[in-house]
């Protein structure tokens, strides 16, 4: 064999017509020829030939596929940050073939992640979808190619159809959309921000508005207000007003503010975009608002909890030990004024300490209605008692269940022993859950419970 030291200069192989289609073709064939005429033993030579051939076939196939895709294929790109990604993945997961891909990713089914199922086998069920690579599947007689590539924080999906029309891809996307919408119809989708983008956090079963116990007149006046807002887009546009509405939900912890937001979303079939200001900057907040859909609920929970408090003489007053947000008050006010965000959003801010909030944050126009969530009065206590002990149509009768009349008597006895507006509905519900199989025990134990709760509250106040 010649070596460079012998004065041998490797000859550049002449270009062949194949190089036009497969760049590097001549170089590979020239190397192969040299191997064939060399003096290594036959086995090594054959092995090298095999490797070169396999590499070439792989390269040629990938290249040919690229050419076909470019010239004869139609491709849809599905961005990871968009809900179309969830639609596509939802469809793919339903298909048996998705398990047959060479590389699959296992995930816990997000929609059932939060449920404790009756049957242990159904708890945290796994689902699979293709991962890192391509695979073909057939849809309505057409061959489509699913390709996925993972990056550090995201995943790129493309779907390609061979042919000169994209119709089959649009048809397929429509089917993904329809299946996904049918699936989420009875659920409320909650988005949260993750690394500066909105991602689905969970899907909860819809919550009927009747399960939130509060003044019924107040509840229905708010429902009416929201309904009118959703129906009146034109009215706002005609008057040159920004089409948005804001509510401040305030009251002690455990009085139903989050539950109310969830039930409003269920009632009007809106998605919730839940924001926690503590780990955001002005820029990210602004971007998140720009990416909101045109109709949704933005839920800013515990807006007082991140040091965005009343500014007096230019200085922010903040509780000690309160984490301060990197979001400035002016940054928040800007996004709430909504010039850069899509119109139609309903803002719900919740707080336990409305008096600590800056006036500017809750002035009319930013907050259109303030809704007070109170601790339980006897009406609410009675409703909570019924909520726990009234049999639902799909539940079996059990030992210890009482008839309608007896339940009514017990309800009154229970409600009359609950002091007015002293305990939150969450606290009372917690007590009732301890006796959830016996309304009689709940009534028998309520007096002692009230005494103990008062003692505990007093001790807590002294310590803190």
Q: What residues make contact with ligand ATP under the rule CB under 6 A? A: 212-214, 253-259, 350, 352, 373, 425-426, 429
**CA 369 – CA 247 distance, rounded (Å):** 5
**Smallest separation (angstroms) from ligand ATP to the CB of 214:** 5
**Smallest separation (angstroms) from ligand ATP to the CB of 156:** 38
**Smallest separation (angstroms) from ligand ATP to the CB of 164:** 55
Q: What are the residues whose beta carbons fall under 8 Å from the beta carbon of 384, sequence distance 6 or more? A: 213, 376, 425, 428, 429, 432
Percent helix, strand and coil across the chain, each to the nearest 5: 45, 20, 35
**Smallest separation (angstroms) from ligand ATP to the CB of 65:** 53
**Smallest separation (angstroms) from ligand ATP to the CB of 165:** 51
Nearer to ligand ATP, 24 or 253 (CB): 253
Nearer to ligand ATP, 192 or 352 (CB): 352
SS3 430: helix
**CA 303 – CA 318 distance, rounded (Å):** 13
Q: In sequence order, what DSSP letters do the residues of 392-418 get, joined into one string?
A: PTTS---TT---HHHHHHHHHHHHHTS
**Smallest separation (angstroms) from ligand ATP to the CB of 257:** 4
CA count, 13 A, side-chain hemisphere, 452:
8
**CA 109 – CA 282 distance, rounded (Å):** 33
Nearer to ligand ATP, 207 or 244 (CB): 207
Nearer to ligand ATP, 130 or 425 (CB): 425
Q: In sequence order, what DSSP letters do the residues of 116-163 get, joined into one string?
A: --SSGGGSS-EEEEE-SEEEEEEETTEEEEEEEEE-SS-EEEEEEEES
Q: Which residue, judged by CB position, is nearest to ligand ATP in the bound state?
A: 256
Query: To 10 degrees, the CA torsion angle through 302, 306, 307, 308?
Result: -60
**CA 275 – CA 280 distance, rounded (Å):** 9
Nearer to ligand ATP, 229 or 299 (CB): 299
**Smallest separation (angstroms) from ligand ATP to the CB of 297:** 14
- Within 10 angstroms of residue 340's Cβ, the number of other Cβ atoms is 11
Nearer to ligand ATP, 180 or 373 (CB): 373
**Smallest separation (angstroms) from ligand ATP to the CB of 303:** 11
Nearer to ligand ATP, 146 or 431 (CB): 431
**CA 461 – CA 459 distance, rounded (Å):** 5
What Å distances lie between residue 312 and 315, 319, 359, CA to CA?
A: 5, 14, 10
Nearer to ligand ATP, 253 or 400 (CB): 253
**CA 355 – CA 361 distance, rounded (Å):** 11
**Smallest separation (angstroms) from ligand ATP to the CB of 181:** 27
Nearer to ligand ATP, 18 or 218 (CB): 218
**CA 265 – CA 327 distance, rounded (Å):** 26
**Smallest separation (angstroms) from ligand ATP to the CB of 271:** 18
**CA 111 – CA 179 distance, rounded (Å):** 14
Nearer to ligand ATP, 142 or 386 (CB): 386
């Amino acid at each position: 064999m010649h070596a460079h030291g012998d004065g041998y200069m490797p000859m550049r192989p002449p270009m062949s017509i194949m190089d036009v289609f497969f760049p590097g073709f001549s170089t590979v064939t020239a190397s192969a020829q040299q191997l064939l005429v060399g003096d290594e033993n036959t086995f090594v030579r054959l092995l090298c030939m095999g490797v070169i051939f396999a590499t070439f076939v792989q390269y040629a196939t990938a290249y040919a596929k690229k050419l076909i895709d470019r010239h004869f294929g139609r491709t849809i790109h599905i961005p990871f940050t968009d809900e179309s990604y969830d639609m596509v993945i939802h469809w793919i997961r339903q298909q048996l073939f998705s398990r047959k891909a060479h590389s699959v990713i296992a995930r816990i089914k997000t929609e059932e992640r939060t449920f404790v199922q009756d049957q242990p086998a159904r708890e945290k069920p796994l689902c699979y979808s293709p991962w890192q690579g391509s695979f073909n599947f057939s849809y309505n007689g057409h061959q489509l190619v699913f390709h996925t590539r993972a990056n550090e924080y995201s995943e790129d999906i493309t779907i390609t159809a061979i042919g000169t029309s994209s119709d089959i891809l649009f048809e397929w996307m429509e089917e993904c959309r329809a299946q996904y919408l049918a699936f989420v119809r009875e659920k409320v989708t909650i988005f949260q921000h993750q690394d500066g983008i909105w991602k689905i956090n969970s899907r909860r079963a819809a919550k009927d508005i009747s399960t939130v116990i509060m003044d019924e007149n107040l509840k229905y006046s708010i429902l009416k207000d929201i309904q009118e807002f959703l129906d009146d887009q034109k009215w706002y546009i005609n008057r040159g007003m920004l089409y948005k509405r804001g509510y401040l939900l305030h009251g002690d912890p455990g009085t139903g503010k989050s539950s109310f937001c969830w039930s409003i979303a269920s009632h009007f079939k809106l998605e919730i975009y839940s924001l926690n200001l503590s780990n955001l900057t002005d820029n990210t907040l602004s971007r998140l608002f720009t990416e909101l859909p045109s109709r949704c609920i933005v839920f800013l929970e515990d807006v007082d909890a991140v040091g965005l408090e009343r500014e007096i003489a230019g200085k922010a007053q903040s509780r000690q030990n309160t984490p301060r947000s990197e979001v400035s008050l002016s940054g928040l006010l800007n996004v709430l004024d909504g010039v850069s965000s899509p119109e139609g959003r309903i803002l719900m801010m919740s707080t336990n300490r409305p008096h600590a909030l800056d006036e500017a944050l809750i002035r009319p126009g930013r907050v259109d209605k303030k809704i007070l969530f109170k601790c339980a009065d006897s009406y609410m206590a009675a409703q909570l008692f019924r909520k726990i002990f009234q049999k639902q149509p799909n539940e079996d009768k059990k030992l210890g269940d009482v008839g309608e009349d007896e339940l009514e008597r017990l309800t009154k006895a229970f409600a009359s022993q609950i002091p007015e507006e002293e305990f939150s509905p969450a606290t009372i519900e917690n007590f009732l859950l301890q006796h959830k199989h016996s309304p009689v025990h709940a009534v028998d134990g309520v007096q002692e419970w009230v005494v103990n709760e008062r003692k505990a509250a007093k001790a807590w106040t002294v310590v803190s």
